[in-house]
Amino acid sequence: MVQIRLGPGADLDGFRAAARSLVAAGTPPEAVVWTQGGAADLFGAPVLPDGPPLSLPRAAADLVQLVVCHRDPERFGLLYRLIWRLTHGEKALLEVMSDPLVHRLAMMGKAIRRDLHKMHAFLRFRRVETAKGERFVAWFEPDHHILAAAAPFFRNRFGSLDWTILTPEGRVSWTGGALVFGPAATRDEAAAGDGFEEGWRDYYESTFNPARLNTTAMRAEMPKKYWRNMPETAAIPGMVRAALSRVDGMMEREPAMPTRRNPDKAVAAMQEAGPHSLEELNRIISGSEPLVPGATRAVLGEGPVGAAIAFVGEQPGDQEDLQGRPFVGPAGQLLDRALAEAGIERSATYLTNAVKHFKFVQRGRRRIHESPTAGEVKHYRWWLERELDLVRPGLVVALGATAALALAGKAVPVGRNRGLFRFGDRPGFLTVHPSSLLREPDPQAREEGFRRYCEDMRRIRELAAA
């Protein structure tokens, strides 16, 4: 019999090392006793070699990562039984949901996902002043050992803040450099409240609709054990008690037509709010988080204010992201050739992109361009509109369908609309993106495409000079 002693909590690394060693030694699940406490180690076997990495299906590896967080003391034995069966001929085991082992582990994984969701949704930070400055502290009581698994979510979402999460079995802190885990905490260490909570409570009460009250659904979605950690829940009992009388009052009031709102006033108010210069806008864009993680920086527009021509592309590429300038990669070099052929000086034009961050997929060491979705284009559209308002070009040129979508607010097929085109109140021109010419596999077709592209550029020069 082999005894495996793991560390407290999830101890994913200890379990992985033990499973590799046991499989390499040919130790079946029924010959292993799993315990926890103290440092992770292997006891009871004369020789347990370091095992090579296990070749498991991705779904199995993901399930292991979830289930080790469960509080069930049998979880390690169940997971090792799964690994043993997968590595001994039952490669399609996870597809058999009627298998008792697979079903039980799937239910445990579901419980962990739900616990992570609750922590993401119901954890509330409170602002405190420390000797080192401002910090945000939260107290949470998870059902399972999920602190390490949940921490990256808060790091990614609140990376610009210094924060600490306290739980009964451990704590984690972030100061902008690394996640630091520490010992168990008590509720007394958490802040009682801060100045933000009163305003948040007022907002929560103002959005409450008494006619749609369903206390059973409320408790199902937000169990009462989390209420004491959330500032808005203090108002729930009073709102529930007053719901019936509020509904009666709503029924007694005579119906009234809703007030018509003028969208032009809202747009004008947004314009008044700024930014009022290109430099101010660029500071906002530079300080924004990428919509798609991974980009090195926001790539800003380049060129003089008042330029006769503004070229709008899709998004930065790999070289643009690394250098922080638009159109400096292969597509930009082809654009430069076309501009030179047409007699347009690049330095006299304004160059920018509809999407300001590089979206890509990692393949080995290469970052492969990935087209932005319509939703991502819409996310950046206000910035582009404000940018062009501040630059005030005489002619706006959309390079490709994504740029046309951003400028027109709707899909515009390039093939049918190539040439002079009006983007709302802006006189414009629609042509292909230079990257589409680079993707053409036929050299003759690529040469013909470039010739027509140069013709577009000469037409653009004439329109801008008119």
Report pLDDT digits (tens) over 236-262: 677 667 766 766 676 666 666 666 666
Residue at 254 is within a domain: no
Task: Please tell me which residue, 444 or 229, carries the higher pLDDT value.
Answer: 444
Instruction: Determine the Cα–Cα distance for residues 125 and 117; give it in Å rounded to an integer.
Output: 16
Residue 366 has which token pair? 């290469």
Looking at residues 346-371, what average pLDDT do you find?
A: 92
| Predicted pLDDT at 76 | 96
State whether 351 and 435 are in the same domain: yes
| Predicted pLDDT at 307 | 96
Instruction: Determine the Cα–Cα distance for residues 405 and 433; give it in Å rounded to an integer.
Output: 13
pLDDT at 271 over 60: no
State whether 82 and 227 are in the same domain: no
Whether the Cβ atoms of residue 388 and residue 396 lie closer than 8 Å to each other: yes
Residue at 305 is within a domain: yes
| Predicted pLDDT at 43 | 45
State whether 179 and 225 are in the same domain: no
User: Per the structure, how many domains does the chain have?
Assistant: 4
| Predicted pLDDT at 170 | 94
The percentage of the chain sitting over the pLDDT mark of 90, rounded to a whole number, equals 62
Strand-pair partners of 135? 128
Sheet with 32-36: list strands edge to edge: 32-36, 2-6, 41-43
Among the candidates 138, 160, 189, a domain finishes at 189
* Global model pTM greater than 0.75: no
Across 31-35, 159-163, 245-249, 397-401, least confident range: 245-249
Residue at 266 is within a domain: no
Looking at residues 62-88, what average pLDDT do you find?
A: 95
Instruction: Determine the Cα–Cα distance for residues 330 and 316; give it in Å rounded to an integer.
Output: 11
- How many DSSP H helices and E strands does the chain contain? 17, 15
| Predicted pLDDT at 435 | 95
Determine if the peptide bond prior to 275 is cis (ω within 30°).
Answer: yes
Strand-pair partners of 34? 4
Q: How far is CA 46 from CA 2, 49, 52, 128, 254, in A?
A: 9, 10, 19, 54, 85
Looking at residues 150-165, what average pLDDT do you find?
A: 90
State whether 412 and 287 are in the same domain: yes
| Predicted pLDDT at 437 | 95
Beta strand 350-353 with 309-313 is parallel
- Structure confidence at residue 52 as a pLDDT band (50, 70, 90): confident
State whether 325 and 454 are in the same domain: yes
Looking at residues 292-318, what average pLDDT do you find?
A: 91
Residue at 263 is within a domain: no
Among the candidates 234, 249, 264, a domain finishes at 249
Tokens 């509904």 correspond to: 247
Whether the Cβ atoms of residue 168 and residue 182 lie closer than 8 Å to each other: no
Looking at residues 294-300, what average pLDDT do you find?
A: 86
The pLDDT tens digits of the residues spanning 91-117 come to 899 999 899 999 999 999 999 999 999
Task: Please tell me which residue, 271 or 465, carries the higher pLDDT value.
Answer: 465
List the beta strands (DSSP E) in 101-239.
126-130, 133-139, 163-167, 170-174, 179-182
Helix axes 374-391, 401-408, angle to 10 degrees: 70
State whether 161 and 94 are in the same domain: no
State whether 18 and 51 are in the same domain: yes
State whether 181 and 200 are in the same domain: no
| Predicted pLDDT at 224 | 64
pLDDT at 280 over 70: yes
Structural domain span for residue 161? 123-189
Instruction: Determine the Cα–Cα distance for residues 425 and 148; give it in Å rounded to an integer.
Output: 52
- Structure confidence at residue 330 as a pLDDT band (50, 70, 90): very high
Whole-number average pLDDT of the chain:
86
State whether 298 and 330 are in the same domain: yes
State whether 417 and 392 are in the same domain: yes
Among the candidates 170, 189, 208, a domain finishes at 189
Residue 318: strand, helix, or coil: helix
Residue at 260 is within a domain: no
Looking at residues 174-186, what average pLDDT do you find?
A: 89
Residue at 433 is within a domain: yes
pLDDT at 333 over 80: yes
Whether the Cβ atoms of residue 43 and residue 3 lie closer than 8 Å to each other: yes
Residue at 98 is within a domain: yes
pLDDT at 39 over 50: no
Q: For 194, how many CA atoms within 13 A lie in the half-sphere containing its CB?
A: 16
| Predicted pLDDT at 46 | 43
State whether 320 and 443 are in the same domain: yes
State whether 81 and 147 are in the same domain: no
pLDDT at 137 over 50: yes
The percentage of the chain sitting over the pLDDT mark of 70, rounded to a whole number, equals 80
80-90: b (≥16 Cβ within 10 Å) or e: bbbbbbbeeee
Q: How far is CA 163 from CA 117, 186, 439, in A?
A: 19, 16, 47
Residue at 267 is within a domain: no
The pLDDT tens digits of the residues spanning 399-449 come to 999 999 999 999 999 999 999 999 998 999 999 999 999 999 999 999 999
